[in-house]
Amino acid sequence: MPLWVVRAACLVFVLLAGNLKASADDLADFNTAVEALSAHNRVAIGYLRTGNGDLASLEIDRLREGWTKLTERFSGKPPHAFDGNPLYPKLFTVVGVRLVGTDLMLKTGHFEAAQNGLNGIRADLYDLRKASGVVVLADCVRDANIAMDALMAFDDRALDWSNAETGPTVTTKASSYGTELDRCDRIANEEIRKAPEFRRLIDGSKASLAQIPKAVANRDADLLHRLLIELRSFDNLLAFRYG
């Protein structure tokens, strides 16, 4: 093979490798920037839930500042993972509108509406990543929250155990939630996975889930209620910290 062909092939390989690395780095940088914003979003939602508008306002200001920087960097240059995703160009307009609306709702004392606006941003990011097959811990936590909602539907001391479907359905819903928690445990990076806070939430949830078969077998609605309250508490904290 002529030497010039070998050199050309090597050059093409180097360029391709460089582009692939740049693409991976762009996505990693995008995800890191979004996570930093999401942290402010989560804290702001927490303050709104407790009616602390002043502290929520500070977090929303930080969220807005971070979003402006992210927009300047990424709005015209999406990571390759989002190529062809129609939600990507829409994201920057939609989130901008949500932030304006959230600020207006906060200033007029409509905390629940402001909270809904911030949750809308979480949903926008979730939909974007899901459409492109991009997996992050926050989205897994969101899926786990949905699975927990389905399980909480059985938090009823007057549960009809005589219905043949009740016990198996509770067991199935609990198993589905456990599956999501296991997936989140795998998705989390090593630092988060080993963090005492994360371990407490994941392992505590698994410990409560492990007792649900006993509650079902004994048709013990009181025990099931206590377990579900424990699980909901863990689930809320998981969403607040990592969702």
Burial class (CB in 10 A: 0-12, 13-18, 19+), 81: middle
Write the CATH number for 30: 1.20.120
CA distance linking residue 143 with residue 157, whole number of Å: 26
pLDDT above 60 (res 75): yes
pLDDT above 60 (res 114): yes
pLDDT above 70 (res 6): no
**Boundary residue ending a domain (131, 159, 192):** 131
- Per the listing, tokens 């809320």 go with 236
**Within this chain, do residues 22 and 122 fall inside the same structural domain, yes or no?**
yes
**Within this chain, do residues 24 and 94 fall inside the same structural domain, yes or no?**
yes
**Within this chain, do residues 120 and 85 fall inside the same structural domain, yes or no?**
yes
pLDDT over 70, % of the chain: 90
**Within this chain, do residues 162 and 118 fall inside the same structural domain, yes or no?**
no
Give the residue numbers spanning the domain of 122: 3-131
pLDDT in tens, 198-231: 999 999 999 999 999 999 999 999 999 999 999 9
pTM for this structure? Answer: 0.81
* C-alpha distance from residue 109 to each of 101, 104, 119, 184 (Å): 12, 9, 17, 35
Q: How many domains does the chain have?
A: 2
Per-residue confidence band for 15, with pLDDT thresholds at 50, 70 and 90: very low
Tell me which residue of 99, 114, 113 sits closest to 67, measured CA to CA. 99
* pLDDT at 184 (0 to 100): 97
**Boundary residue ending a domain (109, 131, 153):** 131
**Within this chain, do residues 146 and 160 fall inside the same structural domain, yes or no?**
yes
Q: Which helix (H) or strand (E) holds 81?
A: none
Q: Three-state secondary structure along 159-183?
A: CCCCCCCHHHHHHHHHHHHHHHHHH
CA angle, corner 209, sides to 181 and 159, nearest 5? 125
* pLDDT at 76 (0 to 100): 86
CA angle, corner 243, sides to 137 and 30, nearest 5? 60
